[in-house]
């Protein structure tokens, strides 16, 4: 069956889906995106993703292409039309199509909206989690507003490519000696005191929706969380390390730059948190 995409009001075969070459997303990366997870027909953390979608659009003064109510319908339809039960839904809005010129075009230009869905298998993710992933480190050369989920991702893809070439699943980004986050995930460690440590929210990281729900899970489990910067040395000396994102849920990190974390296997607290996160999302969705 052909895959189906949503493009500006129409559902079209993915192979025929396209945007105008003067779309400002294509020319300036002038747009925002979200990646939402659907498991067994239920969106996980949907409200959080929609809220961040709105915040990113507002931060860049891009109008909402359609209302959140309409967007939810399209999100569901794109999953249904691709006959998927579990999926990753990608949605992207750009400032629209206009002759190339740096200033914003006038209000007559409508934002563009595109959605796609691809299969997700929780079992596959669980299998990867049972082994854990390796990360490398790379300098954080991104701009000063990475809290906006912009489609401008060159530093992220360069570091991810370096990770892939090194046989690692993610690169943790270093700024002024601190680990900010991964190229497409948030970074966490469990320190010697058994506390969870993750970079505080602000302009230097993307405030992950998975991160937010996991903070709630940790509180329910009475695990102490400290939202503060940690160094690469802290990470190397950690008992456990993991990353979070809609695509990875809670994913153990077993090596950083070839150094084993703990005993080099997924940590017990990490796995408890992964289970708690999955339980919480299922409970919220159901």
Q: Which is nearer to ligand PDD, 11 or 33 (CB)?
A: 33
Cα angle 66, 68, 73; round to 5: 85
Is 181 a binder of ligand PDD (CB under 6 A)? yes
Give yes or no for a contact between 84 and 115, defined as CB atoms under 8 angstroms apart.
no
C-alpha–C-alpha distance, residues 6 and 12, integer Å: 6
- Measured over all CA atoms, what is the biggest interatomic distance in the chain, rounded to whole angstroms? 59
Q: How far is CA 143 from CA 61, 155, 215, 251, in A?
A: 18, 9, 26, 26
149 counts as catalytic? yes
Interactions with ligand PDD, residue window 234-263 (CB under 6 A): 244-247
Is 35 a binder of ligand PDD (CB under 6 A)? yes
List 206, 235, 276, 278, residue binding ligand PDD (CB under 6 A): 206
User: Catalytic residue among 81, 149, 201, 255, which?
Assistant: 149
List 185, 235, 239, 254, residue binding ligand PDD (CB under 6 A): 185
Is 208 a binder of ligand PDD (CB under 6 A)? yes
C-alpha–C-alpha distance, residues 58 and 69, integer Å: 17
User: Which residue in the block uniquely carries the two structure tokens 């950083």?
Assistant: 256
Q: How far is the CB of 210 from ligand PDD (least distance, A)?
A: 3
Q: How far is the CB of 33 from ligand PDD (least distance, A)?
A: 7
- What stretch of H or E contains 205? none
Is 82 a binder of ligand PDD (CB under 6 A)? no
Q: Summarize as ranges the residues that interact with ligand PDD (CB under 6 A).
A: 35, 181, 184-186, 206, 208-211, 244-247
Residues designated catalytic: 149
């Amino acid at each position: 069956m052909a895959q189906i995409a949503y493009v500006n009001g129409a559902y079209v075969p993915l192979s025929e889906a396209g945007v105008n070459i003067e779309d400002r997303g294509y020319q300036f990366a002038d747009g925002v995106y979200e990646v939402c997870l659907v498991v067994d027909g239920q969106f996980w953390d949907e409200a959080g993703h929609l809220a961040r979608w709105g915040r990113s659009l507002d931060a860049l003064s891009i109008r909402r292409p359609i209302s959140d109510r309409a967007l939810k319908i399209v999100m569901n339809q794109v999953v249904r039309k691709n006959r998927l039960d579990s999926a990753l839904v990608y949605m992207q809005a750009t400032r629209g199509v206009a002759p190339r010129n740096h200033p914003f075009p006038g209000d007559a230009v409508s934002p563009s909206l595109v959605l796609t869905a691809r299969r997700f298998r929780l079992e596959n993710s669980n299998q990867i989690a049972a082994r854990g992933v390796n990360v490398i480190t790379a300098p954080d050369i991104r701009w000063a507003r990475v809290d906006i989920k912009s489609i401008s991702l060159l530093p992220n893809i360069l570091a991810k490519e370096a990770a892939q070439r090194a046989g690692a699943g993610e690169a943790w980004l270093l700024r002024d000696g601190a680990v900010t986050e991964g190229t497409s995930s948030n970074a966490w460690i469990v320190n010697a005191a058994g506390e969870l440590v993750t970079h505080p929210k602000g302009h230097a990281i993307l405030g992950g929706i998975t991160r937010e729900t996991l903070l709630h899970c940790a509180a329910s489990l009475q695990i102490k969380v400290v939202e503060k910067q940690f160094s690469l040395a802290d990470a190397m000396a950690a008992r456990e390390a993991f990353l979070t994102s809609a695509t990875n849920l809670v994913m153990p990190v077993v090596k950083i730059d070839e150094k084993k974390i703990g005993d080099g296997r997924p940590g017990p607290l990490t796995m408890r948190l992964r289970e708690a996160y999955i339980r919480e999302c299922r409970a919220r969705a159901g």
